[in-house]
Chains A and B, each alone.
Chain A
Amino acid sequence: MIFSRTTQNNRNGRASVALLLGLASIVVVFLLLTFSLRLRPDARRTTADNVQINVYCAAGVARPVEQLVNEFNALMGTHLEIVRTGGSGELAGQIATEFQSGVQRGADLCILADDLLLEKGQNDGMFREVFPLAVQKPVIAVAAGSDWDIQSLSDLVSRTEISYGLTSERAAIGKMARAIAKRDQLLIPLEVNRKTDSENVMTLAQALITGSLDAAIVWDTTVNQLNQGSDQPVLEIAAYVDPQDQIAGRVGLAVLATSSHPTLAIQFARFMSAPDTGGPAFHRFGFVTHPGDHWEEVPEVHLFMGSMFTPVLEERVRHFGERHGVNIYSRWEGCGKLVASIHSINDPELFPDAFFACDTHFMKQVQEYFQAPISVSSNDIVMAIEETQASQIRSPKDLLNANLRIGLCDPDQSALGWLTQQLLSSTPYQALYEKIQEQSAVTVDAGPTLVSQLTAGGLDVAFVYRSNVMADPHLTKNIKIIPLHHSRASQAVQPWAISKSTKNPELMRRLFEMIIRSDTMNSFEKAGFRVKATEKD
């Protein structure tokens, strides 16, 4: 008993120490956690400005991107952060994993040095917008002051005494070097004689600096970046891998479809691609930049769109403006009116940045102001007739004997009117147009107006585009479409063209990309258009 008491007394003391330590550790954990959170400069920022854009960046482009992220944050008071760097393939792989597993706080945008990966990501639905940024060339680099005299890729792979490395195919540079070697039938010696294949170009360049390799295939910009980071040059270019410059690495920025703040991400993308903001940073590190639009916090663009597109595009254009943080002023009117406006506009600020015409006839009238047009769709002219009257009408000739209220479009103010005039003046309808025009109840400047009047009961029949009727499913119930079996009835082709004087050609190019995206084109087809342009255009 005495022994046990003594032992118990002694151990009581120790026990309290152990317990106290346990309790103290809880306090320490809380204090350490608070301290670690306080370390974050932005930990106390309010929820109102708690917006963060996560950037994944290819290692070879990280330096100019880091500079631009800092400049953008300073300018806009935003919280962009490069949260991940690595090889382009490595990053694309992680983004795919995040996309598939539904990670909420993954990347908002990524910068990859491989345009094929960007294209694939876009096709897979991971990337919504892609901005081309810069071009870089694969080179054979050696340590500065090195004695190796390497003239070409074939020279490199044929000299077994040279210890060289290239990245794996997961990195853009590795893929590109292999493509060039394959073209020049050097792929086998290139693979056999290489000493290493690292995951990204920076790892390879570092191996070159430390002397682990004699030569390496890296980007020309990698050499520039590393030389600028040191007091004296550490690397030099021995030869270009593709002297013909046929194959080059294209750096691009992609905004992810899952981004929770796409507008801010796109704004940064515009900042990066702008020649006045992003350009200097890229040039500093030897990149050849892709000319983007000049930087404006909120660009302003004017669109002239034929009225036939209103049901399909009006909402989408509005969404585009919201997503891109752009003020879009669009006019949806008959093309004749739009053309007249284009001719009469004196203020360059009000001149349309792009024109989407209902027919090439009107585009030709203002072609001098626009770049080469692209045909997007075509459409048929049809007779839309109130259902109860449909039984007595088979062709336009039947209209002459029926006492019907006919609606036409003005041939001077709209493409539809002009095409209707052409149609009804040609064989087999010779001179029919004048007679119908005499009988017509109204002549308006746009097809949708005729459809509205038809629906309201003000007209019995109207010459309109098929899309004017099909755009609204409710209309097709009460209005019957009578097709006109004539080659001129399907002549309306809708061209898109960007203004030569626009300050935002890239923005307009992206708007066009949205228009020819498969989902938009599906809507075009549902609305009665025939699609002519594809995403490849």
Chain B
Amino acid sequence: MPKDRPASRCSLGRRTSWLFWSSMSGLGGLYLILILLLVFVDFQYANWVDIQTSLADERVRFSIYLSLTTCSLAAILSIWVAVPTGYVLARLGRDSIQRNLEQRPRLNQLAQLIRHSVDTILDVPIVLPPLVVGISLLVLFQTPLGRALDHTTQDFFSWLGFPGIRGITYEIPAIILAQFTVAAAFAIRTMRNTFEQIDERPELVALTLGARRFRVFYTVAMPQAWRGTVAAFTLAWARSLGEFGPILIFAGTARMKTEVLSTTVYLNFQFGNLRGAVVASLILISVAVVALITTRLLLLSGYRGGRR
């Protein structure tokens, strides 16, 4: 009997291991099946001819191009905001405040409070219902400041040679702003996590060697954060692509004007064209999948190249 023990333990181990992995993956697998089923039924509902017909439609092409450009713009703008904000939040975190203000407890508390408040406010767009973001933007642009900005933007676009674009509200810039407002919050969160995971010591060493803060940021911190930046960009881009509520309220759903892919789905559905709505959904899914795969490939090539 004692001789059998190692063999039986090994066998038991294999059995429990199999049980462990299968039970752990079971729920995830079900979710995976659900996603695949959703895509599958969409493809079942609309055939290839429908997709070709839709792609030949000038309005659908318009919404694809507009979606791609506005999402890219919103994502780039999000990165512009997310990188410095994420860095500030990561480097002026609880430990940093504790370390620097150890001798001044009151100031320490105040700094912690401010830091938490800022952190919370930056997360607000994530938890707000999308329609609220839209309504808030709409109301913001009715204030004297908003109207002034609207008029200035209209003048700027006229100067650029686009007098037909009447400012921001109910125009293409409204789409970008609506997408940016939500996407930036996600990008900031991602960048904050990225910088938090990067060891601060090389930056401190560079500082002790006489480098200035800006130089440390773009020569030491940023090169290490490029994967996080790509991830934040992808997340912001994908979030913008699926954005609908704020666009509905703030940019409207005018065909060939402020029509992005999510709007096309909505309009087709509202006009009783379910097939058209499904085809637009499929295009939306395809664009999103292509974007995600491209990003993954980029990240993988980074790994293979030995870069962090």
Residues in chain A within 8 A of chain B (CB atoms): 4, 8, 11-12, 14-15, 17-19, 25, 28-29, 32-47, 50, 52, 54, 59, 62-63, 66, 81-86, 94, 97-98, 101-105, 200, 202-203, 205-206, 209-210, 222, 225-226, 229-230
Contacts of B272 in A (CB 8 A): 62-63, 202, 205-206, 222, 225-226, 229
Contacts of B222 in A (CB 8 A): 14-15, 18
Inter-chain CA distance A37–B157, complex, in Å, is: 9
Report B135-149 CB contacts with A as 1/0, cut-off 8 Å.
Answer: 100110010000100
Inter-chain CA distance A379–B270, complex, in Å, is: 54
Is the pair B65, A40 in contact by a Cβ cutoff of 8 Å? no
Is the pair A39, B164 in contact by a Cβ cutoff of 8 Å? no
Contacts of B165 in A (CB 8 A): 37, 40, 43
Inter-chain CA distance A103–B167, complex, in Å, is: 13
- B170 contacts chain A at the CB level, 8 A cutoff: yes
Contacts of A45 in B (CB 8 A): 163-164
Is the pair B162, A37 in contact by a Cβ cutoff of 8 Å? yes
Contact flag A36-B271 (CB < 8 Å), given A43-B165, A105-B169 = no
- B227 contacts chain A at the CB level, 8 A cutoff: no
Q: Contacting A15 at CB < 8 Å: which of B172, B209, B219, B274?
A: B219
Is the pair A44, B161 in contact by a Cβ cutoff of 8 Å? yes
Is the pair B163, A46 in contact by a Cβ cutoff of 8 Å? yes
Inter-chain CA distance A14–B217, complex, in Å, is: 11
Q: How far is the CB of B4 from chain A (nearest CB, A)?
A: 58
- B77 contacts chain A at the CB level, 8 A cutoff: yes
Given contacts A101-B142, A206-B274, 4 further A-B pairs with CB under 8 A are A45-B163, A102-B142, A206-B277, A209-B274
Residues in chain B within 8 A of chain A (CB atoms): 62, 65-66, 69-70, 72-73, 76-77, 79-80, 135, 138-139, 142, 147, 157-158, 160-167, 169-170, 172, 176, 209, 211, 215, 218-220, 222-223, 248-249, 252-258, 267, 269-275, 277
Is the pair A59, B270 in contact by a Cβ cutoff of 8 Å? yes
Is the pair A81, B254 in contact by a Cβ cutoff of 8 Å? yes
Inter-chain CA distance A205–B73, complex, in Å, is: 37
Q: Contacting B270 at CB < 8 Å: which of A28, A43, A86, A94?
A: A86
Is the pair B69, A43 in contact by a Cβ cutoff of 8 Å? no
Contacts of B248 in A (CB 8 A): 84
Contacts of A11 in B (CB 8 A): 219-220, 223
Is the pair B69, A40 in contact by a Cβ cutoff of 8 Å? no
26 chain-A/chain-B pairs, Cβ below 8 angstroms:
A18-B218, A25-B76, A28-B76, A29-B76, A32-B69, A34-B160, A36-B66, A36-B70, A38-B162, A39-B62, A40-B257, A43-B162, A54-B254, A81-B255, A82-B255, A85-B270, A85-B271, A94-B249, A101-B142, A102-B142, A103-B138, A104-B147, A202-B271, A202-B272, A222-B272, A225-B272
Contacts of B172 in A (CB 8 A): 36-37, 39-40
Inter-chain CA distance A85–B269, complex, in Å, is: 10
Inter-chain CA distance A59–B273, complex, in Å, is: 12
Q: How far is the CB of A102 from chain B (nearest CB, A)?
A: 5
**Nearest B-chain residue to A62, judged by Cβ:** B271
Q: How far is the CB of A56 from chain B (nearest CB, A)?
A: 9
Contacts of A32 in B (CB 8 A): 69, 72-73, 76
Q: Contacting B77 at CB < 8 Å: which of A4, A29, A63, A81?
A: A29
Is the pair A83, B254 in contact by a Cβ cutoff of 8 Å? yes
Is the pair A40, B164 in contact by a Cβ cutoff of 8 Å? yes
Is the pair B76, A44 in contact by a Cβ cutoff of 8 Å? no
Q: How far is the CB of B153 from chain A (nearest CB, A)?
A: 11
Contact flag A15-B223 (CB < 8 Å), given A37-B172, A39-B65 = yes
Inter-chain CA distance A102–B150, complex, in Å, is: 14
Contact flag A83-B252 (CB < 8 Å), given A62-B270, A209-B274 = yes
* 9 residue pairs, one from A and one from B, having the closest CB atoms: A83-B252, A15-B219, A14-B223, A11-B219, A36-B69, A81-B254, A43-B164, A45-B164, A83-B254
Contacts of A59 in B (CB 8 A): 270-271
Inter-chain CA distance A44–B62, complex, in Å, is: 16
Contacts of B176 in A (CB 8 A): 33, 36
Inter-chain CA distance A47–B253, complex, in Å, is: 23
Q: Contacting A19 at CB < 8 Å: which of B80, B167, B218, B277?
A: B218
Inter-chain CA distance A200–B142, complex, in Å, is: 29
Q: How far is the CB of B299 from chain A (nearest CB, A)?
A: 16
Inter-chain CA distance A11–B220, complex, in Å, is: 7
Contact flag A33-B73 (CB < 8 Å), given A11-B220, A202-B269, A203-B269 = yes
Inter-chain CA distance A81–B166, complex, in Å, is: 14
Q: How far is the CB of B225 from chain A (nearest CB, A)?
A: 9
Q: How far is the CB of B238 from chain A (nearest CB, A)?
A: 17
**Nearest B-chain residue to A210, judged by Cβ:** B274
Is the pair B162, A44 in contact by a Cβ cutoff of 8 Å? yes
Is the pair B147, A44 in contact by a Cβ cutoff of 8 Å? no
Contacts of A41 in B (CB 8 A): 256
Contact flag A44-B255 (CB < 8 Å), given A63-B272, A101-B142 = no
**Nearest A-chain residue to B141, judged by Cβ:** A103
Q: How far is the CB of A223 from chain B (nearest CB, A)?
A: 10
Residue among B65, B135, B142 facing the most chain A CB atoms (10 A cut-off): B142
Contacts of B169 in A (CB 8 A): 103-105
Q: How far is the CB of B190 from chain A (nearest CB, A)?
A: 17
Contacts of B167 in A (CB 8 A): 105
Inter-chain CA distance A252–B164, complex, in Å, is: 30
Inter-chain CA distance A203–B269, complex, in Å, is: 7
Q: How far is the CB of B28 from chain A (nearest CB, A)?
A: 27
